[in-house]
Structure 1
Amino acid sequence: MGASESVPRKPHQPIDEITTVSERIEGVDPLLERIKSLNIATPLLNSLPPSEISISDILVRKPSSSSSIQGNLNPKVLLELFSMYREWQEGKVKNICGKQEEIDSKIETADALAVKLLQRFNYSVSAMRSTAHGLAEVQNLQVEVGELKGRLTEVMSNCDALCKRIAAEGVESSHLAHL
């Protein structure tokens, strides 16, 4: 059920609405653009062929499998690598925080909708109870109306009989004197 769905309302019912506004950030991811703009740089190790050592060996300074090969790390490249990693982590943290805020907002909206639905449900239950009570009393009213209808029919037939006697015997009838 959407918040903007139109529901016919009775004039005495309160209007309750929930409006949600959310922004979608549409655009290019700056980290992705930065990664795409990277160029091939000088090797991290000056004297080592790239196939003989892995990036994890470089980052944790593990010696290579062949101990005869020694390499020197370029500190500027390593600093740039760590700063890029840190920026990437900060971007991920911001993204996660943004998503968490969005989820919190959606949870609050769902809670508010649940409260409104509960109020409407309770109102409907109350209306159904009063209707059921009214319908239960209809049977008693039907019995009373039937009894009154029988009495009225009897009175009407007595009136008709009296009118016929008056028409037949006249106003000064001996039967009328007894009434």
Structure 2
Amino acid sequence: ANPTVMMTIKPLPAATAPGEARGQKLITVPDDRWQRCWIKSIALLPNILAKHAADRAGADEAIFVDGNIVQEGASSNVFIIRDGQLITSPIGAKVLPGVTREAILEIAESVGLLVVERGIELAELLTPGEAFISSTTRELAWISMINDKQIAGECGPNTRALHTAFQRLTCDRRP
């Protein structure tokens, strides 16, 4: 039998300067993904349903929460910045190793941030301060609201510095 292949293609929005893009609105969803969520694919039904829930709520992304621990977004990784530390959940069965995530961890020290890989409690993410999501198409996108609660009014200085360093790094690596 011949497999059926289906694609949806749309243009990416133009890249913006670090910190100039609008803040991202997120919702949280319970992490009820199936037990093989380490397979890197947006085709996982729970991820698709989470993205759909975010869209219905007028949000840009859905964040999976297991108990009170933030895992990752439906198509992104999650970071917070507190007291000079860049904090993100460690790679594991519920957090995928994104290439953008890896690049951010690589450059964090160059902008004066200490990398800490540990679970992020939902209360920490909901506390006003610097937070962002990362993905190949978004690069770094600062978080302005979660579940209709404002956590930031503008892109923070550390997030802006990381985004600038990320763009410098990725431009240097292009053929």
Assess same fold via TM > 0.5. Answer: no
Q: With the length of structure 2 as denominator, give the TM-score of the two structures.
A: 0.22
Q: Which is bigger in relative contact order (C-alpha 8 A, separation at least 6)?
A: 2
Q: With the length of structure 1 as denominator, give the TM-score of the two structures.
A: 0.21
Q: Structure 1 or 2: larger strand share? A: 2
Bigger radius of gyration, 1 or 2? 1
